Amino acid sequence: MALPATLAPLRPAGNDATNDPASTIDNQIRDLKQLIADLFGIPVDPTSLTAAIMAVTAAGVASGITIGGAAPATPVANRLYTDSIVKGWVKFQVNGTIDDDLNVASITDNGAGDWTVVWDTDFANSTYCVLCTFQAGDDDIEPAITVDDDNSPTAGTTRINYASNALLADPAGATVRLFVMAIGDQ
């Protein structure tokens, strides 16, 4: 079975397909898988079709990648590991209204300067990493946003506190937004 001319390998002048090992379908599959590995930084076993599972759209953009395994003690440069990908993020208003998110079921407004992020898909444990920040308010003095140290994260929730001048308070200003992102095993 011959490949269309646009996919046929380039050959030096005088080299025909019968003597060219690159013309075999196995070698072409190997080369395609290696190209995928090089483009997306995914380790691909050239002898196995199941090593990398991808759906590629007509435009050639990856629409789904299955990545497995935890990062080793010293991660390989330019590789993706399941425990190093952002698993959830949210942009929300002081009243708990979500503007946009990934993997967030809801925001609970617990009172002034106190919110709970409820994850759609729980984390594997409570040791995931959470980063939170905010869009500055109008008249805040020494503002800070933190993961609540009295209510440690659970696999399914993270509690966030905002303080102004060391006291829990809602940030001032109509356009204030809070941002939370989490990375870890799920």
Confidence at residue 175, expressed as pLDDT on a 0 to 100 scale: 80
Q: What's the CA gap between 49 and 67, in Å, rounded?
A: 15
Assess whether 95 and 177 both reside in one domain.
Answer: yes
Residue that the structure tokens 């809070």 belong to: 178
Confidence at residue 18, expressed as pLDDT on a 0 to 100 scale: 55
Domain hosting residue 122, numbered range: 85-183
Confidence at residue 26, expressed as pLDDT on a 0 to 100 scale: 66
Assess whether 125 and 177 both reside in one domain.
Answer: yes
Encode the chain (186 residues) as per-residue pLDDT tens digits: 454 454 445 555 555 555 555 556 666 677 777 776 666 666 655 444 344 344 334 444 454 555 667 777 787 777 777 778 899 999 999 999 999 999 999 999 999 999 999 999 999 999 999 999 988 666 656 678 888 878 879 999 999 999 888 889 888 877 889 999 999 888
Q: Do the domain assignments include residue 143?
A: yes
* Number of domains present in the structure of the chain: 2
The CATH number covering residue 99 comes to 2.60.40
Listed residues 61, 77, 93: the one ending a domain:
77
Assess whether 73 and 90 both reside in one domain.
Answer: no
Assess whether 140 and 89 both reside in one domain.
Answer: yes
Confidence at residue 145, expressed as pLDDT on a 0 to 100 scale: 82
Q: Do the domain assignments include residue 10?
A: no
CB 143 within 8 A of CB 137: yes
Assess whether 171 and 100 both reside in one domain.
Answer: yes
Whether pTM > 0.75 for this model: the answer is no
Q: Do the domain assignments include residue 53?
A: yes
Confidence at residue 66, expressed as pLDDT on a 0 to 100 scale: 57
Assess whether 127 and 95 both reside in one domain.
Answer: yes
